[in-house]
Homo-oligomer: A and B are copies of this chain.
Amino acid sequence: MSDYSELPVLPMSIRFDHAAGTLSPAGPTLTRRMSDLEGLFLDQDAWLSALADGDPIVYSVVSSRVPEIDRELPQSITTIQPGVTGGEFWMTKGHQHPNHQGEIYLGISGSGGLLMFDGTSTNWVDMTPGTIGYIPPGWAHRSVNVGKEPYSFLAVYPGGAGHDYGWVLEHGLGQRVCTENDGVVFRDYFTGARP
């Protein structure tokens, strides 16, 4: 038994297939449907319509087998489907790390963005294949698909950072990412007004 390492996590080799957007061996997969995004789109009626229209999958997250525990550094691939509900691009729920720690996203395919909010300032990083978006400690974050194809990215994050989804419901994310005349526009998170 080593004085330095602690079981049960052993060294491992994980195949990252850039073209297919997969990690193998893979761990748990999370699927988020429209019904899981309650309270997150500004237009509640549009959300209800989408819900009634088959409750589509909005995004999925495939994790590696590195566990989400303190001191480990797990990875996952998120794929957001293209879509618009009430003028807002489809997106992840967004979260804050209760244990403030940095995270990186690496764009794999499609065209997306990384919206960050620290309770005061909003920041947006355009995400294309090969872009690393850096999320500093204490910045809540959401990913958005602004294209017409699925948008995928690799996330690498400290296993003990945690996920607080309630923070976004309470504080918002500063802005919303909407479509207008086939372009991307930002609107105030709570009022929907142009900033």
Interface residues of A (CB under 8 A from B): 1-6, 9-18, 23, 64, 66, 71-73, 75, 96, 100-104, 106, 114, 116, 118-121, 123, 125-126, 130-140, 156-159
Contact = CB atoms under 8 A, between A and B. Distances in A.
A70 to B, nearest CB: 9
Given A16-B106, A137-B71, A5 B131 contact: no
A106 B12 CA distance: 12
B102 A72 contact: yes
A23 B132 contact: yes
A114 B132 CA distance: 23
B125 A13 contact: yes
Indicate the member of A1, A10, A126 with the most B CB atoms within 10 Å. A10
Given A73-B156, A102-B72, A130 B4 contact: no
